[in-house]
Amino acid sequence: MNKLGFGLMRLPRLDPNDPAKVDVKAVERMTDLLLSRGCRYFDTAWGYQGYQSERVVKQVLTDRYPREAFQTATKLHCYFVNDKADRDRIFFEQLKKTGLEYFDNYLLHDMNASYLQRYEELDCFAWLSEKKQQGLVRRIGFSCHDSAEVLEGILRAHPEMDFVQLQINWLDWESEGIQSRRCYETAVKFGKPVIVMEPVKGGTLANVPEQAERLMKALHPDRSIASWAIRFAASLPGVERVLSGMGSEEMVRDNLQSAEEADTFCEAEMEVLRQAADILRRSPAVACTGCAYCTEDCPANIPIPRYFSLYNKDLKEPERTAMSSSFEYYDQLSQYFGKASACIRCGNCEERCPQKLPVRNLLKEVAAHFENRNREPEPDVM
Ligand code: SF4
Ligand code: SF4
């Protein structure tokens, strides 16, 4: 089986302002292409795509393919669970939404030290083991968004977990915050298969600064920039699956080819990645993956990842003026949603951000950038 997995969280939309309006026909075409090339793994979750992602599984897979043709993973997030009864309520609703009789993989979602406490209080580990014993789930695991130390503690306390899902990418390989390498090595030490999430860091590693792009293209002129990220993750021993949140057939084709070409990285390639990572770390761009967890609880209804994406796009413009299309798009968005300056600094978003971004301060930058039209052009960075 191809190592690539389809992350059903950045699907093409019929309405760009509404994640729940998924372009199902486009997802059907992407699914057909993936299955025809041996990619059979589909990863969804309760909250993805405005709570509609699991229904898309039914539409594009369950209703169109025999069960053995594909594998599915979904998740329980303690954020949606108020009491123990909610665990079953959500689980059986997930089976109904997907039209499935069992899930291949089921995960406790977005584990970190504070959510771990909540998952323990709700007895979710034992609950999930029961689901496995009942044949409603084939394998159980969790996605981890914390340090290698926290991961090790969970794996020691819960040897019943079959696999772990980790944020692994070449930019965060040696980072102190995400700790990709250390978390990966911990999972391998415990003999757990690894499923990689965010290998392209929400698109950040598909669209690198020009200086980094030049280095990568010099070594592999015919390969896309994103292919480095997919190949890097897929080349690691012990990595069973690499999830990519693909939004178009073009991305599917490129990711498929990259996963098929994955092989051990040579020293010259690793050196290019080390240099590119240095360049990215010096770049002013916001390292937001677009997961949108931060928007769930924002009292000011600020479309945080969309503002960060516009801001990043504008920082890359060689000549920054108040006339760029990002400014127009910012104005349009802020008619429907809160402006960046509407942030009341409650901090809800930062508690939920898996990338540990200082969202409140970054929004101040975004507000200064987009809401101050009379400003002088900023000096070029990089
Ligand atoms: S700190 Fe600002 S952006 Fe974050 S949740 Fe609160 S109001 Fe929203
Ligand atoms: S700010 Fe954090 S939580 Fe929000 S979309 Fe970006 S990475 Fe995700």
Residues 14-64 have pLDDT tens digits of 998 899 999 999 999 999 999 999 999 999 999 999 999 999 999 999 999
Residue 380 forms part of a structural domain: no
Identify whether residues 193 and 316 lie together within a single domain. no
Which ranges in the chain belong to alpha helices (H)?
A: 24-36, 48-51, 53-57, 84-98, 113-121, 124-133, 148-157, 180-189, 210-219, 225-234, 249-260, 267-282, 304-315, 325-336, 348-352, 359-370
Pocket of ligand 1 contains residue 347 by CB under 6 Å: yes
CB 57 within 8 A of CB 23: no
Identify whether residues 270 and 313 lie together within a single domain. no
**For ligand 1, mutation pick of 286, 307, 345 (most atoms within 8 Å of CB):** 345
Compute CA distances 106 → 37, 44, 183, whole Å.
24, 10, 20
Which pLDDT does position 287 carry in this prediction?
85
Which pLDDT does position 322 carry in this prediction?
56
Alpha carbon distance 193, 227 (integer Å)? 22
Instruction: Give the ligand with the smallest distance to the CA of 302.
Output: 1
Identify whether residues 255 and 355 lie together within a single domain. no
Pocket of ligand 1 contains residue 359 by CB under 6 Å: yes
Alpha carbon distance 10, 368 (integer Å)? 28
Q: How many whole angstroms from 375 Cα to the centroid of ligand 2?
A: 27
Identify whether residues 106 and 229 lie together within a single domain. yes
Q: How many whole angstroms from 328 Cα to the centroid of ligand 1?
A: 23
Q: Which of 366, 356, 361 is nearest to 313 (CA)?
A: 366
CB 53 within 8 A of CB 13: no
Identify whether residues 209 and 345 lie together within a single domain. no
At which of 252, 282, 312 does a domain end?
282
Pocket of ligand 1 contains residue 341 by CB under 6 Å: no
Residues 104-140 have pLDDT tens digits of 999 999 999 989 999 999 999 999 999 999 999 999 9
Residue 287 forms part of a structural domain: no
Which value, to the nearest 10 degrees, does the dihedral of the CA atoms of residues 144, 20, 290, 187 take? Answer: 20
Q: Whose CA is nearest to atom 1 of ligand 2?
A: 288
Q: What residues make up the domain containing 256? A: 4-282
Identify whether residues 298 and 171 lie together within a single domain. no
What 8-state DSSP symbol labels residue 181? H
Identify whether residues 278 and 319 lie together within a single domain. no
Residue 142 forms part of a structural domain: yes
Residue 176 forms part of a structural domain: yes
Identify whether residues 43 and 86 lie together within a single domain. yes
Identify whether residues 323 and 243 lie together within a single domain. no
CB-based contacts of 212, cutoff 8 Å, min separation 6: 275, 276, 279, 280
Cβ-count burial of 138 within 10 angstroms (0-12 exposed, 13-18 middle, 19+ buried)?
middle
Which value, to the nearest 10 degrees, does the dihedral of the CA atoms of residues 107, 192, 35, 92 take? Answer: -20
Which pLDDT does position 2 carry in this prediction?
82
Residue 240 forms part of a structural domain: yes
Pocket residues for ligand 2 (CB within 6 Å)? Answer: 288-294, 304-305, 352-353, 355, 357, 359
Residues 199-222 have pLDDT tens digits of 999 888 998 989 999 999 999 999
Pocket of ligand 1 contains residue 363 by CB under 6 Å: yes
For residue 293, the ligand 2 atom closest to its alpha carbon is 3
Q: How many whole angstroms from 365 Cα to the centroid of ligand 2?
A: 16
Residue 338 forms part of a structural domain: yes
Identify whether residues 275 and 319 lie together within a single domain. no
For residue 352, the ligand 2 atom closest to its alpha carbon is 3
At which of 233, 249, 282 does a domain end?
282
Residue 46 forms part of a structural domain: yes
Q: Whose CA is nearest to atom 6 of ligand 1?
A: 346
Which pLDDT does position 155 carry in this prediction?
98
Which pLDDT does position 255 carry in this prediction?
93
Q: What is the CATH number of the domain that holds 204?
A: 3.20.20.100
- At residue 108, φ and ψ (nearest 5 deg) are -80, 125
Which pLDDT does position 323 carry in this prediction?
63
**What does the block give as tokens for 143?**
């996605």
CA torsion sign for 92, 96, 98, 102 is: positive
What 8-state DSSP symbol labels residue 6? E
Which pLDDT does position 356 carry in this prediction?
86
Compute CA distances 154 → 73, 160, 162, 186, 345, whole Å.
20, 10, 12, 11, 32
- At residue 39, φ and ψ (nearest 5 deg) are -100, 110
Q: How many structural domains does the chain have?
A: 2
Q: Whose CA is nearest to atom 3 of ligand 2?
A: 353
Cα-trace Rg, the chain? 21
User: How distant is the alpha carbon of residue 4 from its chain centre?
Assistant: 14
Q: Whose CA is nearest to atom 5 of ligand 1?
A: 298
At which of 282, 309, 324 does a domain end?
282
Which pLDDT does position 170 carry in this prediction?
95
Q: How many whole angstroms from 303 Cα to the centroid of ligand 1?
A: 10
The CB-based long-range contact list for 58-66 (8 Å cut-off, 24+ gap) reads 58/97, 58/98, 58/99, 58/100, 59/24, 59/27, 59/28, 60/24, 60/27, 60/28, 60/31, 61/31, 62/98, 62/99, 62/100, 63/99, 64/28, 64/31, 65/35
Task: Count CA atoms closer than 13 A to 218's CA, side-chain side.
Answer: 12
Instruction: Give the ligand with the smallest distance to the CA of 366.
Output: 1
**What does the block give as tokens for 201?**
């860091």
The amino acid that residue 184 corresponds to is Y
Alpha carbon distance 232, 265 (integer Å)? 7
pTM of the full structure: 0.85
Identify whether residues 190 and 111 lie together within a single domain. yes
Helix axes 225-234, 210-219, angle to 10 degrees: 70
pLDDT under 50: residue ranges of the chain: 375-382
Identify whether residues 153 and 259 lie together within a single domain. yes
Cβ-count burial of 146 within 10 angstroms (0-12 exposed, 13-18 middle, 19+ buried)?
buried
User: How distant is the alpha carbon of residue 217 from its chain centre?
Assistant: 25
Pocket of ligand 1 contains residue 366 by CB under 6 Å: no
Residue 379 forms part of a structural domain: no
Q: How many whole angstroms from 308 Cα to the centroid of ligand 2?
A: 9
